[in-house]
Structure 1
Amino acid sequence: MKLFALAAVLFALPSAAAAHEVWIERDSSGPARIYLGEPADVLPEGGDPEFEKLVAPRLLSPVTGPVARRAGFLEVAVAPGDVRAWDDSVFQPWGEAGKRESVVYYARAGRAEPRATMPLEIAPVSANGDRFTVIRDGKPVAGAKVLVVSPDKWTRTLVANDAGMVAVPGREAGRYLLSVSIRDEGDHATPGGPVAVLHRIATTTFVR
């Protein structure tokens, strides 16, 4: 199953960037695993074909060990607590001169900390709760479309209320992924040069 709901929002992105996201998985206090791919699909054996573009995501959590490149994900030991990372250099800018576009990814694993620290983040309203708020630069984003991917790859798009909040429906136990995208028009500086449109994509995973 493809991310139809998210793809509809990201129609302007090139095919690879439109379908791909960066997300983090963590089991208890084990190492963090950072992925690039299509989270609503089963990961191909050996990893997503675009995984080689995920080179050096910036971890905001204290790193306690070296980063190891595995088959389909980066693995790194981090301090206890929720894990956050972001990357603005996965895909190079695309499009005509003066109308170039780019994408920046924000990823989080865990719902123990009811706060946001990245420019775009899906944060729990309360520790380990099932209500989340889409926060952009410290402010809730009313009407944001949040895609939910359940452990069995069931998907649903939720629309945030006036407080930027959504309630994740309860289904089976396992790992859930939440995703949101915002399109920013204007002058933006990126590692690949200036762009006129910046797509921001944030994910949060948690285990229920």
Structure 2
Amino acid sequence: MKRLILAALMLGVAGSAQAHEVWVERDGNGAVRIYLGEPGDVLPEGGDPEFKNLKAPKLLGGTAAQVRKAGYIETSAPAGDVRVWDDNVFAPWDSEGKKEGVVYYARAGRSDTSAKLPFEIVPASANANRFTVIRDGKPVAGAKVVVVTPDKWSKTITTDAGGGLEIPVNEKGRYILAATVKDDAKATLPGGAVDAVHRITTITFVAG
């Protein structure tokens, strides 16, 4: 069921890109861990089979070395929220005679209320359970956001007219939120020219 919900969120993303997301985990101000996989499922030992495609995610404002671990990439960053993006995970694929591609955005932490990525889920206030989906500086009304709870239960919530949504936080642990948009416009990605781009964004936070 969880896999079906995530696949529905990403409807139209074909091949190995389907149902996969990039997300970031961080405990306090410790090491940064960057994953590629299906956050609604338990991570397989050694990582998701597609993890090999996550080669060099870009850490916003950071230049620390990245170390490849079993199932994730580890790096370091200054204290505070962490943001990552990657436009070169999966090669463009054919869809009904056109080329499509995917760009991933990911964030860990909910202390900063500003959006610094082109597509981002931001807290309404520091450490709040209310969030806003922002695209190019503007809230996205009607966006479908998948919420994965610490026990891996998934729920889909639609943003209101102001792009906002309230997350029910009923247990301790790490929450993952994910949203997607599709740009039906020509663009050039590292893998080549495409006719449409799927943009997928996640945010994780730990509720105490």
Q: TM-score, normalised by structure 1?
A: 0.96
Unaligned runs of 5+ in 1: none
The residue correspondences of 1:51-90 to structure 2 (distance < 5 A) are 51-63=51-63, 65-90=64-89
Aligned position for 1:207: 206
Displacement of 1:67 in angstroms is 1.1
SS in 2 for 1:100: strand
The residue correspondences of 1:30-179 to structure 2 (distance < 5 A) are 30-63=30-63, 65-95=64-94, 99-179=98-178
Post-superposition Cα deviations, 1:30-75, rounded to whole Å, max 9, x if no partner, equal: 0100000000000000111110100011100434x42110000000
Unaligned runs of 5+ in 2: none
Displacement of 1:130 in angstroms is 0.4
Post-superposition Cα deviations, 1:83-107, rounded to whole Å, max 9, x if no partner, equal: 0000010000010696100000000
Amino acid paired to 2:32: A
Aligned position for 1:16: 16
- Give distance in 1, aligned partners of 2:95 and 2:62: 39
SS in 2 for 1:3: helix
SS in 1 for 2:203: strand
- Give distance in 2, aligned partners of 1:15 and 1:62: 31
- C-alpha RMSD of matched pairs (Å): 1.4
Aligned position for 2:196: 197
Q: Do 1:180 and 1:203's aligned partners in 2 also have CA atoms closer than 8 Å?
A: yes
Amino acid paired to 1:41: D
How many residues are aligned here?
207
Aligned position for 1:6: 6
Aligned position for 2:26: 26
Q: Do 1:114 and 1:124's aligned partners in 2 also have CA atoms closer than 8 Å?
A: yes
Post-superposition Cα deviations, 1:172-194, rounded to whole Å, max 9, x if no partner, equal: 10000000010110111111111
Q: TM-score, normalised by structure 2?
A: 0.96
Amino acid paired to 2:132: T
SS in 1 for 2:2: coil
Q: Do 1:34 and 1:75's aligned partners in 2 also have CA atoms closer than 8 Å?
A: yes
Displacement of 1:9 in angstroms is 3.7
Q: Percent identity?
A: 56
- Give distance in 1, aligned partners of 2:61 and 2:134: 19
Amino acid paired to 2:40: A
- Give distance in 2, aligned partners of 1:201 and 1:161: 19
Amino acid paired to 1:81: G
- Give distance in 1, aligned partners of 2:152 and 2:144: 18
